[in-house]
Structure 1
Amino acid sequence: MEKHWPARFWKGKLPAPDQTTVIMHFTLKQLQSFVAIARDNNVSRAAETLSLSQSAVSSSLNELESQLGSLLFDRIGKRLQLNEVGQRILPHAVELLARADELERLVRSGEALGNFKVGATLTIGNYLATLLISDFMRTFPGTRVGLKVANTSQIVEGMRQFDLDIGLIEGDCFDPDLDVIPWREDELVVFCAPDHRLAKKTTISLDDLSEENWIVREPGSGTRAVFDRAVAGKLQQLDILLELEHTEAIIRAVESQLGIGCVSRLALEDALGRGSLIALPTPWFDLRRHFYFVLHKQRYLTAGVKQFLALCQQSRQPGAAI
């Protein structure tokens, strides 16, 4: 299958010649302070992140603004808010720091993979990402990969703010600053406990489903978005008893016969195999979906990020371990 990587995945970006002299006046310390403050909007929190004093971080920012001849933040009381100039500069500063980290690792170890942070939505984070990261770190033992697990809207926001290097999501994303690349297919399953009344019926109707209590994911999650689209206009009523942030909590609630649920088949695979949960036929609903990679269009892709993306792509191929 053709890979839908943007061109920058394959070709590194070089700074324009007329930028080189200007960039050489900046220090990494200044750029690190700027990026840290931009992420936290607060000098004291940035200082904690960098393990520096507040005065050192403030001085680095002042020096950078002095060299640029422009303020990068609006000062609102004790809070710093990134202004328009700062917003334009931020992705370039993040890229320069990533390249510097890659260069340092290349010199020290002969490898240029570097450390990076992955953001994954709950289904992917709990059932795929940990396995992929474990495989990656066994293959490249000098690399460290951080993982943040949250719902789709939170992962997208983390990518927008440059807090994450890669997003693995199961919901929709239409942010113009982000590349959204299809990864692998998934489907949701409506399910119940084996002693539930619907598990004993030979045929199930839409009326049967309309009479049930539903236990589903919270709004803002990719799973909930697919579920809402699938059932819209199909059920006479939709009685949502519980909205839960964690798939395992939904599974436990359904096992306790509080109602019926709808989550990824990936999360139900073991329970369906054991017979502790029963999949219900729902031919009226289109519960298919895709998992996606999310990359920031202005963020430099290090060798480690590229290798990790390649590993994720291989995992969807027939015969792959995951």
Structure 2
Amino acid sequence: MHYTLRHLEVFLATAFHENVSMAADSLAMSQSAASASLKDLEQRFGIQLFDRVGKRLQLNDFGKSLRPHAEALLSQAKEFEGLLLQRGQSSQIKVGATLTIGNYLAVPIMAEFMSRYPGSRVELTVENTSSITEKVRNFELDIGLVEGELQDTNLDVIPWRNDDLSLFCAPDHPLAGRPTLTDDDLLHAEWIIREAGSGTRQAFERAMHGLAPRIQVRLELQHTEAIKRAVEAGLGIGCLSTITLQEAFRRGSLLPLYAPQRDWVRQFYFILHKQKYRSAGLRNWLALCQEEGAGQFSTYGPDE
């Protein structure tokens, strides 16, 4: 074989950092050793993988075509090493989740996963849908659990489970206690909503089709808890996943609002790069998430 796993590691690290020095640091190598490894790989096959732009190394088209294959080979090698070291019980996966999923669903699933597969490690990144999508596309994450609908020719987008959005307000808000809200009520309310690029914002705008461009947005906030606090303070009404509001509804610090003429149901999705190697750990993670989606184990208690 005319290449080594170290060649692949240096190639992928350089593709990610676009800088040999940073790639070397990430692999605990000297810069000269990393440069030599990259040069050796190119010379062995008479190829060029990067375009050199100043101090940056950008993958050329040929390098981009090789990257997913290198990712898959390295993933299989790591899985093989895990099998040797832990007799098949160990897995390491990098999971990305959007804020609602990451804060309210992913951690219990992680706990169950590590309980079932001792020695396994799950790295969780929590950001909005657009950020998670970019990281999966760039092979920084093995899998994404997202709220937003998307179409990307590089990604497999797999339905996971349904989720309901809830409208809500403070107990002393003028709309509190109304049996239902009309579209006119929705137009005249002041709103505290998630930022553009989030799955919740996308689902909200879909549910508010025909009204969204005309609503009065008082605040756009990135974090669920900040939106809940702003609504509690009487700054407006909000719209978030029901999962995130159950405790506040139970306490009575927030009250649900109802607009049944609008569709507040949305879908959660798995996203994976189409050329991502599906390791045993990744397959086990998907299966466990499907169990959660089918309600076979609880990810949050009745008071949450």
The alignment's TM-score, normalised by the length of structure 1, stands at: 0.89
Residue pair 2:180, 2:257 contacting (<8 A) in 1 also: no
Distance 1:129 1:236 in 2: 33
Q: Within the alignment, does 1:80 sit opposite 2:65 as a pair? A: no
Counterpart of 1:42 in structure 2 is: 19
Q: SS of the residue aligned with 1:188? A: strand
Counterpart of 2:160 in structure 1 is: 183
**Structure 1 moving runs of 4+ over 6 Å:** none
Picking from 78, 85, 96, the partner of 1:108 is 85
RMSD of the TM alignment (CA)? 1.4
1:61 maps to a residue whose letter is L
Picking from 100, 125, 149, the partner of 2:126 is 149
The alignment's TM-score, normalised by the length of structure 2, stands at: 0.95
Distance 1:229 1:293 in 2: 20
Q: Within the alignment, does 1:126 sit opposite 2:115 as a pair? A: no
Q: In the superposition, relative to structure 1, how do residues 210 and 104 fare at CA in structure 2: closer, same or farther (>3 Å)? A: same
Distance 1:81 1:145 in 2: 30
Deviation sequence 1:6-45 (CA, Å, 0-9, x none): xxxxxxxxxxxxxxxxxx2211111000001111111122
Counterpart of 2:295 in structure 1 is: 318
Counterpart of 1:12 in structure 2 is: none
Q: SS of the residue aligned with 1:263? A: strand
Deviation sequence 1:37-75 (CA, Å, 0-9, x none): 111111122112111111111111111111221110000
Distance 1:151 1:165 in 2: 16
Q: CA deviation at 1:113?
A: 4.1
Residue pair 2:191, 2:217 contacting (<8 A) in 1 also: yes
Counterpart of 1:283 in structure 2 is: 260
Picking from 273, 276, 281, the partner of 1:296 is 273
Counterpart of 2:69 in structure 1 is: 92
Counterpart of 1:307 in structure 2 is: 284
Q: Within the alignment, does 1:221 sit opposite 2:201 as a pair? A: no
Q: In the superposition, relative to structure 1, how do residues 182 and 302 fare at CA in structure 2: closer, same or farther (>3 Å)? A: same
Q: Within the alignment, does 1:31 sit opposite 2:8 as a pair? A: yes
Q: SS of the residue aligned with 2:245? A: helix
Q: Within the alignment, does 1:240 sit opposite 2:205 as a pair? A: no
Distance 1:236 1:119 in 2: 30
Q: CA deviation at 1:131?
A: 1.3
2:283 maps to a residue whose letter is K
Q: SS of the residue aligned with 1:201? A: coil
Identical pairs, percent: 53
Q: CA deviation at 1:112?
A: 5.7
Q: Within the alignment, does 1:172 sit opposite 2:154 as a pair? A: no
Counterpart of 2:116 in structure 1 is: 139
Distance 2:113 2:179 in 1: 46
Distance 2:24 2:287 in 1: 35
Q: CA deviation at 1:203?
A: 4.7
Q: In the superposition, relative to structure 1, how do residues 118 and 236 fare at CA in structure 2: closer, same or farther (>3 Å)? A: closer
Q: Within the alignment, does 1:163 sit opposite 2:149 as a pair? A: no
Residue pair 2:89, 2:117 contacting (<8 A) in 1 also: no
Q: In the superposition, relative to structure 1, how do residues 315 and 236 fare at CA in structure 2: closer, same or farther (>3 Å)? A: closer
Counterpart of 1:21 in structure 2 is: none
Q: In the superposition, relative to structure 1, how do residues 32 and 112 fare at CA in structure 2: closer, same or farther (>3 Å)? A: farther
Residue pair 1:192, 1:277 contacting (<8 A) in 2 also: yes
Q: CA deviation at 1:285?
A: 1.5
Distance 1:112 1:176 in 2: 34
Between stretches 296-305 and 132-141, larger displacement belongs to 132-141
How many residues are aligned here?
A: 299
Distance 2:296 2:288 in 1: 14
